[in-house]
Amino acid sequence: MKNRQIILLARPKGKLGPEHFQMTEGVVPDPKEGEVLVRVRLISLDAANRAWMQGATYRSAVEAGGVMAGGAIAEVVTSPASEFKPGDLVFADTGWQDYAALPAKGLIKLPRIEPITNLLSVYGIAGLTAYFGLLRIGRPQPDETVVVSAAAGSVGSFVGQIGKIKGCRVVGIAGGAAKCDWLVGELGFDAAVDYKLGSVDRALKAAAPRGVDVYFDNVGGEILEACLPLMNVGGRIVCCGAVSAYDGTAPAAGPRGVPGLIVIKRLLMQGFIVMDYFSERYAAVAELQRWVQAGQLKIQEDVIDGLENTPKALIGLLAGENRGKRMVRVSQ
Ligand SMILES: NC(=O)c1ccc[n+]([C@@H]2O[C@H](COP(=O)([O-])OP(=O)(O)OC[C@H]3O[C@@H](n4cnc5c(N)ncnc54)[C@H](OP(=O)(O)O)[C@@H]3O)[C@@H](O)[C@H]2O)c1
Coil vs helix vs strand at 305: strand
pLDDT in tens, the chain (332 residues): 899 999 999 999 999 999 999 999 999 999 999 999 999 999 999 999 999 999 888 888 899 999 999 999 999 999 998 899 999 999 999 999 999 999 999 999 999 999 999 999 999 999 999 999 999 999 999 999 999 999 999 999 999 999 999 999 999 999 999 999 999 999 999 999 999 999 999 999 999 999 999 999 999 999 999 999 999 999 999 999 999 999 988 777 789 999 999 999 999 999 999 999 999 999 999 999 999 999 999 999 999 999 999 999 999 999 999 999 999 999 99
The pLDDT of residue 76: 98
Q: How far apart are CA 147 and CA 142, in angstroms?
A: 14
CA of 104 to the centre of ligand 1 (A): 30
**Contact yes or no for 215/147 (Cβ under 8 A):** yes
Say what the pTM is. Answer: 0.97
Q: How far is the CA of 246 from the centre of ligand 1 (A)?
A: 9
SS3 state of residue 116: helix
Q: What pLDDT does residue 253 have? A: 78
**Which of 52, 128, 129, 155 maximizes ligand 1 atoms within 8 Å of its Cβ, making it the mutation to test the pocket?**
155
Ligand 1: atom nearest CA of 275 is 3
| Cα–Cα distances in angstroms (integers) from residue 163 to residues 62, 133, 138, 184, 286, in the given order | 34, 11, 10, 13, 18
pLDDT value for 254 = 80
Tell me the sheet residues that pair with 39.
75, 99
How many CA atoms, within 13 angstroms, populate the side-chain half-sphere of residue 167? 4
Task: Give the Cα separation of 132 and 157 in Å (integer).
Answer: 14
Strand bridging mode 268-271 / 231-239:
parallel
CB-based pocket (< 6 A), ligand 1: 46-48, 125-126, 129, 150, 152-156, 174-176, 179, 195, 218-219, 223, 240-244, 272-274, 317-318, 320, 322
Pairing between β-strand 35-44 and β-strand 99-103 as defined by DSSP bridges: antiparallel
* Distance from residue 86's CA to the centre of ligand 1 (Å): 35
Pick the residue whose CA is nearest to atom 42 on ligand 1: 320
